[in-house]
A and B are shown apart, each in its own frame.
Chain A
Amino acid sequence: MRRITILGLTVLVTAAVLVTAPLLGLETIDPRHVAGGADAGPEARIFWSLRVPRVMLGFLAGAALSVGGLTFQALFRNVLATPYTLGVSSGAALGATLAIRVGAVFSVLGIPAVSLAAFAGALLAVALVYGLARARQGCSANIMLLAGVAVNFSFASLILLIHYTSDAAASFNILRWLMGRLDTVGPDEALRLLPLVAVGGFVALALHRELNLMSVDEELAVSRGVDADRYRVILFITTSVMIGGVVAACGPIGFVGMMVPHVCRLLIGPDHRWLGPMSLLAGGAFLVACDVLARMLAAPAELPVGVLTSLLGGPFFLWLLVGRRGGAACA
């Protein structure tokens, strides 16, 4: 199939998911009842102030995680590299856990303390990993990945420690946060996330040629005229900030960033000019679809969406690892 066809189909599927997702849930909503805006009745209120913002948040988060994963896989030339591997999620989790543990209830510009702490933690972790790798000259991709793994482990045990010393209420909140969630009231969270995702997504999509060259071989990319140092820093910062924002808003939703780019690569090939837009759309649509499933599978209870994505992602990843011909497609 030609790439333009595949991308076109992705657009159609994404549009279909985005249109139907807010109608589905515990109660299926008749589209005729919501046409009059949020004041047209209880169904319309649920639709416009709960479900549509939730779908917006899910789409932005999924798109960002997917494009962020794609960017880091190319930058580090490693199939396992995502912003999470480099400490973004564990940093955010540590920040959020601390804020919940000390019972921080203030908010700045409407952003709750837990989200602020998570965002700060994410950026701190990335800065730490970058600084550690930078301290050794060369700043090679492998050293950064190893530093990221080490930071992840240390932060994970700190989170356990804080969790262990918390009372029951804080403990539950910490656990719930760590599972990842998309439940939101009103469009504020999605609107706050929008500029971060717009910038991060635009940079990653605009630099498709640089990503292509750097994903093959960084030295060769330099010899072709790519200022690799500069683009690496730009992509690293915009992606980290974008993913930090996502994790702060939704918690550490796993596997979207790793597996959606892989699936897209299998379907549309390695060229980032096509792979970037497809990953963005597919990531957003995938998370929205997972969220609908999470709301409907155990209704009237609601599964944490992060649990569902990882539950699907784990087996998928194993299949990718051992099932595909020699793993050639992973490269």
Chain B
Amino acid sequence: MDANRTLTPVLDLRHLRLELDGRSILDDVSLAVRDGEHLAIVGPNGAGKTCLLKCVNRILRGWRGMISVQGVSIAAYSQRELGRLVAYVPQVGGQPAPFTARETVLMARYPHLTPFAAPGLRDQRYVEDALALTGIGALADRTMDTLSGGERQKVFLAAALAQDARLLLLDEPTTFLDPRHRDDFRRVLRTVNRRKGVTVVEVTHDLNCAVLDADRIFALKDGRAAFCGPPDQFMVRDVIYRVFDRAFLTVNHPTTGQPVILPEVGGP
């Protein structure tokens, strides 16, 4: 079992191509994600990061190439089966629905429920565990449209956790969060990754968090892979320049010694 886990990537993309309205979005992207890994996908706006995630959970169709999850092509899964293997936290946005936080999390148990049977004790336990782990138990009975953006994002994380999938995809989960909510969110993510062995694939613009948390960085630029490797090899002037067409000022983190990026000072 263990040998199997290390050999078969939990997510395997090979020569992935995607065109939307005749425009090339992803161009020959290959990527293998190990079981239990935390991978950060970075790159400029419009590089195809979000589309890559959406191909994996079949929100987007019509791609070419191969995507397999746990060694099986995703074409062989029903959507419900895929929902048991891959969970997703979307970008912040959209009209918040009038469901309560607990209802929202419970709805994520969908792929595990049998039609016509009400959610059981087991499902309730997953919901309560996810609410507790994300620290939103006190908000559970508030409706989503009364929560702040940061709280709502924690509910979506709790929902993805209650979905109980081995692979968790996140699309810029912390972009609009204040520093406290962001750190809370990242702590939960580290916990599920390290303690529960959930594989995390996260699209982010926060390069500092990416290098501090992730095991590996994958950079996309214009729909093509521009870098794939460990964080310390990513925070190198040439690599950053290749991905973003810009060099950034870096300093070493006082605790870990890793280089992190500082915002630009002054200028015209």
Number of residues of chain B lying within 8 A (CB) of chain A: 34
Measured between C-beta atoms, what is the minimum distance from B173 to chain A in Å? 13
Q: From B85, which residue of chain A is reached at the shortest CB distance?
A: A225
Given the complex of chains A and B, what is the CA–CA distance between A228 and B57 in angstroms? Answer: 12
Measured between C-beta atoms, what is the minimum distance from A41 to chain B in Å? 47
Given the complex of chains A and B, what is the CA–CA distance between A55 and B110 in angstroms? Answer: 38
Given the complex of chains A and B, what is the CA–CA distance between A155 and B96 in angstroms? Answer: 36
- Return the CB mask of B140-154 against A: 1 if under 8 Å, else 0: 000001000000000
Closest 4 CB pairs of A and B: A225-B83, A225-B111, A223-B88, A227-B79
Contacts of B58 in A (CB 8 A): 222
Contact A224 B90 (CB under 8 A): no
Measured between C-beta atoms, what is the minimum distance from B132 to chain A in Å? 21
Given the complex of chains A and B, what is the CA–CA distance between A328 and B103 in angstroms? Answer: 18
Contact A222 B57 (CB under 8 A): yes
Contact for B107 among A209, A219, A329, A331, CB less than 8 A: A209
Q: Which of B126-184 contact A (CB under 8 A)?
A: 145, 163, 169
Contacts of A270 in B (CB 8 A): 97-99
Total A-B pairs, Cβ < 8 A: 74
Contact for A212 among B54, B107, B116, B169, CB less than 8 A: B107
Q: Which of B41-88 contact A (CB under 8 A)?
A: 54, 57-59, 78-84, 86-88
Asked if A271 meets B82 with Cβ closer than 8 Å, knowing A209-B113, A328-B98, the reply is: no
Answer yes or no: A312 CB below 8 A from chain B CBs: no
Measured between C-beta atoms, what is the minimum distance from B145 to chain A in Å? 6
Interfacial residues, chain A to chain B (CB-CB below 8 A)? 77, 137, 206, 209, 212-213, 215-217, 219-220, 222-228, 269-271, 328-329, 331
Measured between C-beta atoms, what is the minimum distance from A263 to chain B in Å? 15
Measured between C-beta atoms, what is the minimum distance from A252 to chain B in Å? 30
- Return the CB mask of B107-128 against A: 1 if under 8 Å, else 0: 1101101011000000000000
Q: Can you name 16 A-B pairs with beta carbons within 8 Å?
A: A209-B110, A213-B110, A216-B99, A216-B107, A217-B90, A219-B54, A219-B59, A220-B90, A223-B90, A224-B83, A225-B110, A270-B97, A271-B99, A328-B145, A331-B97, A331-B98
Asked if A224 meets B108 with Cβ closer than 8 Å, knowing A206-B115, A209-B113, A331-B145, the reply is: yes
Contact B98 A223 (CB under 8 A): no
Contact for B98 among A209, A224, A226, A329, CB less than 8 A: A329
Given the complex of chains A and B, what is the CA–CA distance between A270 and B84 in angstroms? Answer: 25
Contact A227 B99 (CB under 8 A): no
Measured between C-beta atoms, what is the minimum distance from A54 to chain B in Å? 34
Answer yes or no: B255 CB below 8 A from chain A CBs: no
Given the complex of chains A and B, what is the CA–CA distance between A324 and B163 in angstroms? Answer: 35
Answer yes or no: B4 CB below 8 A from chain A CBs: no
Given the complex of chains A and B, what is the CA–CA distance between A212 and B97 in angstroms? Answer: 10
Given the complex of chains A and B, what is the CA–CA distance between A215 and B96 in angstroms? Answer: 11
